[in-house]
Amino acid sequence: MIEIYDGALPTTAIYEKWYQLQQGGMLLSFTGIVRADNNIDGLSFDIYEPMLNEWFAKWQNRVLMAHSRGDVLVGQSSFMCGVYAKHREFRLIEEFVEDFKANAPIWKYDLVGNQRIFAKDRSHKLPYAGILRK
């Protein structure tokens, strides 16, 4: 399951929903919170949902994900993921987060004052993106 929210994530409500869906075993979750690095007021995100859904398909039956679209201020959450398992699957969260950071079609901007500045130094070129995408 993947969910996109406008603005900051309602983390408690998301976790509660995920907890209600579990059927015993383990629910391991990861929550990303916007840091006050680089003198920013927050982050802003653009998402290309068709490509995101295509990328997420390989994780669909193993991972839950929620992400923000638009502005998220310092101290608020922009990303959550979770894993259900009968046994400990700690490595799966790390694998997912690394794949997400490298390949998810989500573009990050710094919010500084009233400006939205593309975070080019913290961005990656997406494989298979562009006009000749395969």
Q: Is 134 domain-assigned?
A: no
| CA–CA dist 116, 38 (Å, integer) | 14
Task: Give the pLDDT score at 110.
Answer: 93
pLDDT digits (tens, 9 = 90+) for 6-50: 999 999 999 999 999 877 778 889 999 999 988 899 999 999 999
Mean pLDDT score of the chain, rounded to an integer?
88
| CA–CA dist 32, 106 (Å, integer) | 14
Q: Is 127 domain-assigned?
A: no
Q: Which domain holds residue 26?
A: 2-119
Q: Is 88 domain-assigned?
A: yes
pTM reported for the whole predicted model:
0.86
CATH of the domain at 10: 3.90.1170.40
Q: Is 133 domain-assigned?
A: no
| CA–CA dist 117, 40 (Å, integer) | 10
Q: Is 92 domain-assigned?
A: yes
Across residues 87-104, what is the average pLDDT? 88
Domain count, the chain: 1
Confidence of residue 125 (pLDDT cuts 50, 70, 90): low
Task: Give the pLDDT score at 37.
Answer: 85
* Residue 117: its H or E element: strand 115-118
Q: Is 53 domain-assigned?
A: yes
Q: Is 128 domain-assigned?
A: no
Q: Is 125 domain-assigned?
A: no
